[in-house]
Structure 1
Amino acid sequence: MTTTIMRTTARVTVPVVLVVAISLFLQGHNLPGGGFIGGVLTAAAFVLIYVAYDLDYLESGVLGREVEHGTSVFEQRTVTAYRRILLAGLVVVLASGFGGMLIGDPFLTQGYVHLEGVPIYREVELASALLFDLGVYLVVVGSVLTIVSVVSAE
């Protein structure tokens, strides 16, 4: 059972942590940061929700999944979902690495495109490293949440 102070702190802190995680993720292909630290912060936000409330609230209230109380099937389904996120991240990382090879460049060669006329930003540079960072992000989030779920079930 957690306190009202902990729950209130989580409600205030989690959105800030998620915004910082997205910011670090998006700047990662040009500056230090990226998929790893963004994934760690995102997983930390989910862990904070888990600590402040519980796994049932995280699954039903935040992720919108049905909760089967008192069964290990629920825990297995949760861990399986997190492992799928991890595997999706691995697929994205490998796909981004082989993408350059399709056009004759070495493995993990980075390319970029300039988009003009984008509302608010006017000009945006999209790099293929962003896909790699997305894969790393998914691997980190999936693995940390899998570890937390397995350890908390014990």
Structure 2
Amino acid sequence: MTTVILRTITRLVLPLGFVVSFAFFLQGHNLPGGGFIAGVLTASVVALAYLAYGLDVVEEDVFGREVETAVEHVQHGVVRDYQTLYAAGLAVAVAGGLAAMLYGYLTDTTIPFMTQTFRYATVPLFGHIELASAVVFDLGVYAVVVGALLTIISVVGAE
């Protein structure tokens, strides 16, 4: 049984945690931060929501699934979704590493795996912005970290 104080604090911290996580993600390829720390913060915020409301709320209210027992979380449901997020993140991270190699292949130079490339683009209202391949890799790392940590938290929380 959770308290009213925990649920109230969770409602206040949840949006703030997601905003800070997004800010950490965006600064990752230029400053300390990036996909890993943003993923850890996101998983921590979701874990706080699990503590305040329980796994059933996520399963029934967020995903709209009927759940009878906590074991169903492990067999099918939210854990399966987190495993899919993990696998997709791994694929995106590898694709981000291969993007530089593909760019080097197209420009007739040899660029090794995981080399960062970038281009500048002009966006209305923002001006010139840098589009770096490291952002794609950070997105993959973010998905891997969120998927793995939430899988662990959900499995342990269901027991």
What is the CA distance between 1:74 and its match in structure 2?
Answer: 3.7
SS at match of 1:92: helix
Q: TM-score, normalised by structure 1?
A: 0.92
Task: Specify whether residues 117 and 98 from structure 1 end up closer, same or farther in structure 2 by C-alpha distance, changes over 3 A only.
Answer: closer
The alignment covers a number of residue pairs equal to 152
What is the distance in 2 between the residues matched to 1:79 and 1:47? 13
The CA deviation string for residues 43-76 of structure 1, in whole angstroms up to 9 with x for no partner, is 0110010001111112333x33313222633432
Question: Percent same amino acid among aligned pairs?
Answer: 48
Rate the CA distance shift 1:117–1:131 in 2: closer, same or farther, 3 A.
closer
1:76: which partner in 2? 75
3-state SS, counterpart of residue 6 of structure 1: helix
SS at match of 1:137: helix
Where do 1:2-151 residues align within 5 Å?
2-61=2-61, 63-70=62-69, 72-77=71-76, 78-103=78-103, 104=105, 105-119=111-125, 121-151=126-156
Contact 2:100 2:133 in 1 (8 A): no
Instruction: List 4+ stretches of structure 1 deviating above 4 A.
Output: none
Q: Which runs of 5+ in 1 are unaligned?
A: none
For normalisation by structure 2, the TM-score amounts to 0.89
Q: Is the CA contact 1:42–1:141 (under 8 Å) kept in the aligned structure 2?
A: yes
5+ long unaligned stretches in structure 2: 106-110
Encode CA deviations 1:98-135: one digit per residue, 9 max, x unaligned: 1222233210111112121333x223211100000000
Deviates more, 1:103-112 or 1:44-53: 103-112
Structure whose alpha-carbon radius of gyration is higher: 2
